Amino acid sequence: MTRTATAIITSMFAAWLAGCHSSVTPTGTPLVFAHDDEMMTTTVDAGEYRSLADRRVFAVMTFLNAAGYDDEVSGRAMHPVRTRVRQRIAANLADHPDKLAAWRNYYDRRRLGAWQYVNWSLCLTADYPFRRTAAARNLTYPWTRWMLDDLPDILNDFWVTADLTSVWSECLPDYLAEMRRYDPNAVARDVHSLWRYVRMPRRDDSIIVSIPNLLERHATANGNRFPPYFYSVDGPGSGGLVHEYCHTFVNDLVKANYSAHKKKLKSYFDAGKDAAISASYQDPTYWVAECTVHAICHRLTATQISDAEVRRRIDANADALTRGGYTLLKPLCAGLVDFEADGRPFDQYLPILFKKLPEYTQ
């Protein structure tokens, strides 16, 4: 999800981070979605759920792919839509080598993760020509305030030069097909199940929006809070909406409880921080929050599954993630079993959970 240099920058500005989701208070021009055919809206139990083919995300991800963003999960081929768009954009820009070189230099010099560009793009109007709708001073990643200050102008130039109007029209059926796979009733059940599992009242009334991101690497998702919206931007095969949504309250709870257990928690972090899986999470608090969210989602799934073989597979996945660098994951899962029997809400139990964790040993 990010480069090594991004991880270094992230650690420098750790105090500003809120997790892999972002939270801002928008100001300025109201956001208007003018293309009704590119959005599906459903109300479930008084909550609003949407699926959106987002032109902002499409524009910034197309730009990144043209400018040098080639990340993909090891052993996986890029999504066919991503491959097709990259080929089409390369052809459209063949007569503009100077602009392409400038855009590649822009991307290369900033060394930011794709999710930071996506977060910034969600501050823009919903369609070309892109303009700011939320004050950049409210961005969670403060350095993007100045590093990407000229991004709207660049995206507008890129949209015209690369003929994104035509490319978007060609790709839209693929995005609509992906949107049709979105089940708002299932998402509503998952959100309800999450709050029931942690035994806490829901803390937000966000409109939850799922945005397919077919130009991203596989198994990658990021959440962004721009009230009244919570956007889950989901790469191919990510299934990450509830995971990202969980960060909206877990990050703050971990931050509030980290210092009291810093020595123990940091020993787990130090053991896993150099693993590839941890590259995006080089702030210890952020890393602990990511492990905690994984543990909650794992136990939430485990408590809902009765099939022994399925439970074996999800346990094996947790084992693999723990060995792969999330060294805290399985100890947290074990601690959550005790939480499930305790009866107290998660925000009250988390300091107990951290206190009961065994000291890290290899």
Which of the four pLDDT bands, split at 50, 70 and 90, describes residue 133? confident
**How far is the CA of 64 from the CAs of 100, 104, 111, 188, 249, in angstroms?**
11, 9, 11, 32, 30
Residues 272 and 229 in one domain: no
Structure tokens at 241: 């909406």
Which of 219, 239, 259 corresponds to the end of one domain?
239
Structure pTM?
0.88
Residues 109 and 20 in one domain: yes
In a domain, 355, yes or no: no
Residues 278 and 228 in one domain: no
pLDDT given at position 143:
76
Which of 239, 261, 295 corresponds to the end of one domain?
239
Count up the domains in the chain and report the number. 2
In a domain, 109, yes or no: yes
Tens of pLDDT, residue by residue over 54-72, are 999 999 999 999 999 999 9
Residues 8 and 133 in one domain: yes
Which position has the higher pLDDT, 267 or 225? 267
pLDDT score of 4 more than 60: no
Residues 127 and 268 in one domain: no
Tens of pLDDT, residue by residue over 310-361, are 999 999 999 999 999 999 999 999 999 999 999 999 999 999 999 999 999 9
Element (H, E) at 173: helix 164-180
Q: Mean of the pLDDT values across residues 206-225? A: 94
Can you tell me whether residue 266 is helix, strand or coil?
A: helix
Among 227, 245, 273, which residue's Cα sits nearest to residue 133? 227
Query: What share of the chain in percent tops pLDDT 90?
Result: 80
Residues 235 and 272 in one domain: no
Can you tell me whether residue 155 is helix, strand or coil?
A: helix
The DSSP bridge pattern shows strands 207-212 and 47-52 to be parallel
pLDDT given at position 28:
57
**Residue 280 domain boundaries:** 242-346
Residues 232 and 115 in one domain: yes
Q: Mean of the pLDDT values across residues 262-267? A: 98
In a domain, 361, yes or no: no
Distance CA(337)–CA(312), nearest Å, equals 16
Residues 90 and 212 in one domain: yes
